[in-house]
A and B are shown apart, each in its own frame.
Chain A
């Protein structure tokens, strides 16, 4: 505002010589005052807890530090609870003391943050205000700042990836330090236990077992069932929509199929667990089959329904991209529609179709809620679709939801599972893209 006024004043003083439009001076002042302040503010808010955590160490009595089961995280959590007024039982005196001191630090740091922010906003504002004179190219300066902001925001995507890799890989390395990776990859028994339970379990060594094969098998089984449902339906619908249907039919059915992809997975999970599974169970018992109430079949069927649109939409696009001239050539030779589709269009569109199926599989592998709600948690190594199985994603959820012990092999195993999940899904995506690129027929 000040900058705007000053610029206006300058305009009044000497009409001609102002380089940029007046409001750029205002924006320049605003940006150059606000940005450093925001930066300072963020640094302060993020750092204060870390700094306090270091400082508070002095207030922890020595005998606590020297005792055997000293764990700084737990002590810190105790102090934090006490700061927030959550008191369970009677905490030791030193915790309350530390909490009191912590509280005073919070107040001090808030005041400090405010003062520093005010100083930054005033100084940088003043500096930029000073800079304004008729020759100052404020528009260029503003544009430079905005460009940098845009560039920085595009880096966020990379930061997210780094964050994902960082968070998963480090914990996985710690997991593999506890459990050898070949046991994880090739073991056939999955039986994670909390360490506390293990210790209490009358000294039985090695009660926990982290063989991920049953999980992979379960994931694989459910994906196969899902594919058995979705590939025929999706592909045939795509062929029908792109080759046989009138444009009206197409305009009606294509969005309708895509509705299937828009339904939240938790709804599918609910549907699988409360409608499909009981139905399968009762019809199974009529046929004399014993179907578990949480079966791979129920989860797979519903997941198949969910991924129909992934296959149908993508394949439909690919089939449509096959040039009309190929079809016309086929018809010119006297072939029927069926023959044209089967012998000319589909082979030409095959890479795209395969890619769409691979993408659908990677969706199915990464899908969580349906399997959590309908497939069960029993880590059976079985190929029988009527049994309960468990998958990589549902184990991640069960391990990480609720209370966890940090540092325990069970918690860490979830990160190792996540790492394998990422590798599998990303691998499939790369492969799908590769297939498309490699086998794409080049039409003009």
Chain B
């Protein structure tokens, strides 16, 4: 080393300068860290914000109030309130007449346009009303009807009056009709009674999530009934009973690998095994639940094993000490103590399954199904798939309905996760 010895003053200066630099580097890293977290949280907030602002209006829609003359002869020609008789009835003409009396269209063309203002679900609505309350017959009652989705978008301001008529989805005459209805105070903006109680529909103003919601519940129950017992049994077997040998090692590696398989592959397996080989029908919640169960199984097994491992050996030894058999130890002591952890893992797995879309697309749960499924063997769809399908539709109103459906889905996911956190906090025991 032929470096000169520097005098102490210089040395202090060098160190002082470098300390400043090092400090600033330090605070820079801290700042970067803050910025990174801030960014991530911003993304999260922006995501929620954009979905909520889009979805909140999706729970509402515009209605028009019309005076309906409940003429039994015309609505219910056979007079027995049966579906057939109501179907033969002429409810939509009554609604149209009432509408015409307000907006006064001239000529057939205008009448045709005016008819489209009210959603095509009007006759179903009247049929339902008289079924619920037959005393309506013979009265003139004000009834609210959903407006067509284009009119709805116009009232919300998505379709602008200033746009040239040729580029607008609704023409000037229809706007005139709407203005007339508005002047008479017949148009109102209210909580939509379709979004929560309707099912899939090609008409956005009548589309709702009830069918998909029920489908989700059915699918999840199948999934839970299969995955929870299987997962717990496997965890118990691997942790408590099995000897550590090659076979159990293979099972363990296998489970970890299953957790890493992309979800869409489980869908392919469902398609190839359950549907092609076992010949089960497509798009039923039973098959969907089975596929999701196999998919969530690793999550449940892994968390259940962790929960079982957390039960201290002293508990087992104590039980053995008073003469319990192995199974008695497991069922009377280990499982009850590990239950909170197992439940938490199961709830998290179920939340995963609730949000899963891709495997269900594979087994055909994308079919357009209007009927609400009554059992696990009826074709149905689930919430995330419904969201996927609606996201593809072109109508403006579907964007709002999709976001509304997402809000419902997120609401459920958040409450499930909150339940899991609560359970963990409440039942957690430190040994």
Q: Which residues of B contact A268 (CB under 8 A)?
A: 47
For chain B residues 288-335, which have a beta carbon within 8 Å of chain A?
294, 297-298, 301, 325-327
For chain B residues 241-290, which have a beta carbon within 8 Å of chain A?
241-242, 250-251, 254-258, 260-269, 271-273, 278-279
Q: Which residues of B contact A49 (CB under 8 A)?
A: 279
Flag whether B25 is at the interface (Cβ < 8 A): yes
CB pair B263–A158 under 8 Å, yes or no, is no
Task: Digitize B342-382: 1 where CB-to-A-CB distance is under 8 Å, 0 elsewhere.
Answer: 00000000010011111001101010000000000000000
CA distance A147 to B242 in the complex (A): 10
Instruction: Tell whether A164 pairs with B269 under 8 Å between CB atoms, given A232-B36, A267-B410.
Output: yes
Segment at the A interface, from B1-9, B37-45, B136-144, B167-175: B37-45
**Which of A236, A269, A274, A312 is close to B32, meaning CB atoms less than 8 Å apart?**
A236
Question: How near does chain A come to B242, taking the closest CB pair, in angstroms?
Answer: 7
Task: Digitize A343-362: 1 where CB-to-B-CB distance is under 8 Å, 0 elsewhere.
Answer: 00000000000000001001
CB pair A393–B29 under 8 Å, yes or no, is no
Smallest Cβ-Cβ distance to A341: which chain B residue:
B29
Q: Which residues of A contact B355 (CB under 8 A)?
A: 262-267
For chain A residues 111-166, which have a beta carbon within 8 Å of chain B?
139, 142-143, 146-147, 149-151, 153-158, 160-161, 163-164, 166
Q: Which residues of B contact A264 (CB under 8 A)?
A: 354-357, 384, 409, 413
Flag whether A189 is at the interface (Cβ < 8 A): no
For chain A residues 243-284, which have a beta carbon within 8 Å of chain B?
243-245, 253, 255-257, 259-260, 262-271, 273-275
Flag whether A37 is at the interface (Cβ < 8 A): no
CB pair A365–B262 under 8 Å, yes or no, is yes
Smallest Cβ-Cβ distance to A265: which chain B residue:
B357
Flag whether A240 is at the interface (Cβ < 8 A): yes
Question: How near does chain A come to B405, taking the closest CB pair, in angstroms?
Answer: 10
Instruction: Tell whether A143 pairs with B326 under 8 Å between CB atoms, given A157-B297, A161-B257, A275-B50.
Output: yes
CB pair A421–B265 under 8 Å, yes or no, is yes
Question: How near does chain B come to A224, taking the closest CB pair, in angstroms?
Answer: 18
**Which of B34, B256, B294, B358 is close to A393, meaning CB atoms less than 8 Å apart?**
B358
Q: Which residues of A contact B387 (CB under 8 A)?
A: 266-267, 270
Flag whether B161 is at the interface (Cβ < 8 A): no
Flag whether A294 is at the interface (Cβ < 8 A): no
Flag whether A440 is at the interface (Cβ < 8 A): no
Flag whether A296 is at the interface (Cβ < 8 A): no
CA distance A332 to B258 in the complex (A): 45
Interface of A is mostly: helix
Flag whether B30 is at the interface (Cβ < 8 A): yes
**Which of A46, A139, A158, A362 is close to B250, meaning CB atoms less than 8 Å apart?**
A158
CA distance A362 to B257 in the complex (A): 12
Interface of B is mostly: helix
CB pair A263–B410 under 8 Å, yes or no, is yes
CB pair A274–B399 under 8 Å, yes or no, is yes
Q: Which residues of A contact B362 (CB under 8 A)?
A: 397, 400-401
CB pair B268–A414 under 8 Å, yes or no, is yes
Q: Which residues of A contact B326 (CB under 8 A)?
A: 143
CB pair B406–A270 under 8 Å, yes or no, is yes
Q: Which residues of B contact A143 (CB under 8 A)?
A: 325-327
CB pair A167–B272 under 8 Å, yes or no, is yes
Instruction: Tell whether A157 pairs with B301 under 8 Å between CB atoms, given A269-B388, A273-B391.
Output: yes
Question: How near does chain B come to A369, taking the closest CB pair, in angstroms?
Answer: 5
**Which of A160, A243, A336 is close to B294, meaning CB atoms less than 8 Å apart?**
A160
CB pair B229–A418 under 8 Å, yes or no, is no
CA distance A237 to B22 in the complex (A): 21
Flag whether B236 is at the interface (Cβ < 8 A): yes
Q: Which residues of B contact A243 (CB under 8 A)?
A: 33
CB pair B268–A418 under 8 Å, yes or no, is yes
Flag whether B35 is at the interface (Cβ < 8 A): yes
CB pair A153–B234 under 8 Å, yes or no, is yes
**Most chain B CB atoms below 10 A, which of A161, A239, A274, A365:** A161
CA distance A164 to B117 in the complex (A): 52
Instruction: Tell whether A164 pairs with B266 under 8 Å between CB atoms, given A143-B325, A157-B298, A236-B36.
Output: yes
Q: Which residues of A contact B266 (CB under 8 A)?
A: 164
Query: Which residues of B come within 8 Å of A, CB atoms?
Result: 22-23, 25-26, 28-30, 32-37, 39-41, 43-44, 47, 50-51, 54, 229-230, 233-234, 236-238, 241-242, 250-251, 254-258, 260-269, 271-273, 278-279, 294, 297-298, 301, 325-327, 351, 354-358, 361-362, 364, 366, 384-385, 387-388, 391, 399, 402-403, 406, 409-410, 413, 417, 421
Please name 5 pairs of A and B residues whose Cβ atoms are closer than 8 Å in the assembled complex, sorted by A.
A154-B238, A158-B251, A236-B37, A260-B40, A262-B417
- Other A-B pairs, 6, CB within 8 Å; known A161-B254, A305-B43: A154-B234, A158-B254, A234-B40, A270-B51, A338-B25, A338-B26
